Chains A and B, each alone.
Chain A
Amino acid sequence: MSRESWLNAALLLALVVVPGWALWADEPFTITLATRAVIFALAAVGLNIALGMGGLVSLGHAVFFGIGGYAMGILASHAQNYTALMEWPFVIEGTKSMPVIWLVAVAASSCAALVIGLLSLRTSGVYFIMITLAFGQMMYFFAISWPAYGGEDGLSIYVRNGFPGLNTLVPIQFYGICLVWLCIALLLYARLMRSPFGLALNAARQVPARVRAVGLDPRRLQLVALVISGGITGLAGALFADLNRFVSPSMLSWQMSGEIMVFVIIGGVARLFGPVAGAGFYVLLEHLLGGVSEFWQIFLGLFLLAVVLFGKGGLVGMIAGRRRDG
């Protein structure tokens, strides 16, 4: 096994051992922290498909994260108020069932990614960054000024949504659900990387002209990547909303987009376990430094600068060395 495989195995082991220890030591807060890290990692795996494989620097992934969150919030709030979501032309009821919410979250955020992708992929480079950021801000302001679902105050859900056969209010069981989703997303990422689609996407990032020359459309490949990426991040949003039992426009804010990007970059762009390392490190840093200083984000900023200026390839890159496929 290469050093990166060892590192990946160690990270995966940590995802099982840490909460296991917390369960044994009766430290539910640690489990909640681990759940937070796993959900952030899932969102970042989503972004990594667009950013790492596709080379699409999207500063608007909070849109998908937030749409996933609101999918959960809207469906669950209708279910807890016993009101129908829609009465015409046919009745749609709210729901407290996680699988249905996940499905809606993935569908809604993929649709949003399709629309944003169709518009923003007309351009590239720095335009793409600014446009994704702008669409993110659009959704943020829309959520703030749309009063039906809490507006600026957000939506509180009193009881966590249910999953057949599990008691999701027990922290370790909810953690298990999130971990399973993270593993599925990582498997998908690994499969995609080796699939014809992933190879073509990789080529479209590096030399779009040659991809065009062999008869593929780089924009279409990037659009598909963005839709898959948005769907996964949307799923993470639904889980995050369920973790907090709360959704608010801050899930759609540009800071959130920046944070998801930070997870990917400090972990290692285009590395399978980069998002896991990045999100885990971020949550750890937030927890440790947040206890020391109210202004811990200064240190986060300095650390980020150091990663950009001196560290190549993020945490995974520093430990495991350069990627073999460049």
Chain B
Amino acid sequence: MSPILLAEQVLNGLQSGVMLFLMAAGLTLIFGVMGLINLAHGSLYMVGAFAAATVAGLTGSFLLALVAALAAAAAAGALVELLVIRRLYAKDHLDQVLATFALILIFSEGTRWLFGSFPLYLDIPEALSGTVTLPGGIAYPAYRLALIGVGVAVALGLWWLNARTRLGIRIRAGENDREMIAALGVDIGKLYTLVFALGAALAGLAGALVGAIQSVQVGMGEPVLILAFVVIVIGGIGSIKGALIGALLVGLTDTLGGVLLPELFKLFTDPASAAASGSAFASMAIYILMAAVLIWRPTGLFGART
């Protein structure tokens, strides 16, 4: 294993980590403010990817595709919040799980009905299709590097939004005491719709960005959703900082585990069975990480102590 290959894999891990962060940040925000567990977050990721693929197919512009993904996911999020989610805040987690599971079925089958079962493809923009040579002689795809950049920018933007704006103050107040801010004259219904649409837009953005390196298909959102849950369990519910650290940890563990574990197993057995059992265990690595964090800190690295 050469250092250059290792560095590439670290970058790959960071890239998948920041994309997971976009998903996890929305989920954790929605849980923190509204106390809602949203299984349909993966569907919003899928909506973003399909909107982007459609608009890119019609106009050929990747930038317009991203705008469409953000708009479509935010609109779908706001619509779902107004029609369904709003009635779930007062209900228990079981009802929330079932209702959002129902939303997954509706979104997935609806998308299949509209677009068919075949995957769509979203092309990487021309300007970012090459590779960039990084210091140390690492040739790395420009698009993936741009994804890391977008992820870092969104993380900074969320921090700014949360810590420096009036909306951020309201969001944090909503996390702490929703009756109080309602009494102070903040329209809590509108705030909830806004937060849900914001989370949905982040998911849609992630779907569109990742859709360009993977295929855009029905059911693409749920594996990412479950990874985002792992991120949140590791980072602690309601903490955006926790979501960032957790997402990077999960992204790195997943990518590096897939490369390093088969190598490690080669020290003990023959190459063929090492590759097989190594990849089997690598697929479990992030869950073992999660279990370890649970044993150490049951409420996650940055979760509230109870």
Contact = CB atoms under 8 A, between A and B. Distances in A.
Contacts of B88: 308
Given A131-B294, A134-B226, A137-B223, A301 B283 contact: no
Nearest to B276: A147
Contacts of A135: 287
- The interface size bin for chain B is 35 or more
B179 to A, nearest CB: 21
Interface stretch (B91-99, B133-141, B199-207): B91-99
Given A297-B109, A298-B106, A126 B31 contact: yes
Contact of B287 (A122, A134, A147): A134
B193 interface: no
Interface stretch (A20-28, A68-76, A261-269): A261-269
Nearest to A309: B87
B291 interface: yes
Interface in A3-57: 51, 57
A298 B229 contact: no
Interface string A257-292: 010011001000100000000000000000000000
B280 interface: yes
Contacts of A119: 291, 294-295
A304 interface: yes
Contact of B94 (A120, A144, A269): A269
Contacts of B95: 308
B291 A57 contact: no
A305 B99 contact: yes
Contacts, number: 123
- The interface size bin for chain A is 35 or more
Interface in B275-306: 276-277, 279-280, 282-284, 287, 290-291, 294-295, 298-300
B255 interface: no
B70 interface: no
B97 A59 contact: yes
A129 B93 contact: yes
B110 interface: yes
Contacts of B37: 126, 129-130
A144 B283 contact: yes
A254 B222 contact: yes
A308 B232 CA distance: 26
Given A57-B97, A146-B280, A265-B94, A304 B105 contact: yes
Interface in B253-291: 276-277, 279-280, 282-284, 287, 290-291
Nearest to A116: B291
Contact of A138 (B106, B222, B287): B287
Given A134-B230, A308-B99, A126 B237 contact: yes
Would you call the interface of chain A mostly helix, strand, loop, or mixed? helix
B294 A304 contact: no
Contacts of A215: none
Interface in B87-129: 87-88, 91, 93-95, 97-99, 101-106, 108-110, 112-113
B299 A123 contact: yes
Contacts of B232: 130
B306 to A, nearest CB: 9
Interface string B209-226: 000000000000011001
B99 A304 contact: yes
B64 interface: no
B169 interface: no
A197 interface: no
B109 A298 contact: yes
A300 interface: yes
A55 B300 CA distance: 22
Interface in A87-134: 119-120, 122-123, 125-127, 129-131, 133-134
B84 interface: yes
B299 A127 contact: yes
A86 B295 CA distance: 33
A295 interface: yes
A147 B112 CA distance: 31
A281 B101 CA distance: 18
A134 B293 CA distance: 14
A133 B93 contact: no
A82 interface: no
A47 B67 CA distance: 43
A305 B229 contact: no
Contacts of B283: 138, 141-142, 144-145
Given A131-B290, A137-B223, A297-B109, 10 more contacts: A122-B294, A127-B237, A134-B233, A138-B287, A141-B284, A145-B282, A145-B283, A297-B108, A298-B105, A307-B98
Interface of B: 31, 37, 84, 87-88, 91, 93-95, 97-99, 101-106, 108-110, 112-113, 222-223, 226, 229-230, 232-233, 237, 276-277, 279-280, 282-284, 287, 290-291, 294-295, 298-300
11 contacts: A126-B31, A129-B93, A130-B232, A131-B233, A141-B283, A298-B105, A298-B106, A298-B113, A301-B109, A304-B105, A308-B91
* 5 pairs of A and B residues whose beta carbons are closest in the complex: A301-B105, A304-B102, A138-B287, A301-B106, A141-B283
